[in-house]
């Protein structure tokens, strides 16, 4: 048995680090979410919602984001028409937790790891704000394609981008890159 632990040690360290970081970050995020009431949106979702509106203003789109006062989400209106709502799951924190856990599991030098994690968080956040803004516009013009746009295309873009970041990390910066 000891022979197998030695042989598979890198894999076991990866799995242990990945799941340890994932569980820890998820539990911390859950405690954060539990600090908000049932009709109050969490702060990260609020910031994402306001950033979607700010981004649309830069491109002269008439997107308004309004807090739904009976629920913990934001309603997104385009040209005065309700299109989508931004809920906690739209803030990309779960994707960021997954990203961080993987990078930590394939860690490299401390400074490089922390800088790459910071870069990844900012990249994923900005990509997510663009995703919501573009999705809003596309759903206004193509509401019949809701499942394709929201359920297939945009998750593919965000998870594909995270996968691309992981490939860069493993091949260029992690201690396994050599």
pLDDT value, residue 110: 92
Residue (of 162, 161, 153, 137) closest to 52 by Cα position: 137
Q: Over the stretch 47-104, which tens digit does the pLDDT of each residue have?
A: 999 999 999 999 999 999 999 888 999 999 999 999 999 999 999 999 999 999 999 9
> Does the pLDDT of residue 178 top 70, yes or no?
no
pLDDT value, residue 39: 86
Mean pLDDT of 131-152: 94
C-alpha to C-alpha distance for 142 and 12, rounded to whole angstroms? 47
Q: Over the stretch 111-129, which tens digit does the pLDDT of each residue have?
A: 999 999 999 999 999 999 9
> Does the pLDDT of residue 137 top 70, yes or no?
yes
Give the DSSP H or E segment for 34: helix 9-34
Q: Over the stretch 147-160, which tens digit does the pLDDT of each residue have?
A: 999 999 999 999 99
Q: Residue 13 — pLDDT band, cuts 50, 70, 90?
A: confident
Residue (of 78, 165, 81, 90) closest to 130 by Cα position: 90
pLDDT value, residue 162: 96
Q: Residue 177 — pLDDT band, cuts 50, 70, 90?
A: low
Identify the bridge partners of residue 63 per DSSP, sorted by sequence position.
78
pLDDT value, residue 116: 96
pLDDT value, residue 9: 81
């Amino acid at each position: 048995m000891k022979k197998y632990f030695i042989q598979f040690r890198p894999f076991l360290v990866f799995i242990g680090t990945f799941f340890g970081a994932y569980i820890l970050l998820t539990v911390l995020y859950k405690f954060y979410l539990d600090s908000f009431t049932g009709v109050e949106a969490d702060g990260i979702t609020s910031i994402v919602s306001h950033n979607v509106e700010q981004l649309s203003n830069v491109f002269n789109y008439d997107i308004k984001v309004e807090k739904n006062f009976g629920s913990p989400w934001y309603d997104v209106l385009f040209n005065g028409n309700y299109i989508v709502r931004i809920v906690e799951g739209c803030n990309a924190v779960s994707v960021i937790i997954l990203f961080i856990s993987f990078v930590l599991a394939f860690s490299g030098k401390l400074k490089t790891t922390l800088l790459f994690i910071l870069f990844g968080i900012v990249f994923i956040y900005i990509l997510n704000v663009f995703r919501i803004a573009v999705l809003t516009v596309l759903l206004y013009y193509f509401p019949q394609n809701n499942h394709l746009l929201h359920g297939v295309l945009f998750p593919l873009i965000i998870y594909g981008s995270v996968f691309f970041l992981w490939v860069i990390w493993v091949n260029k910066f992690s201690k396994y890159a050599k």
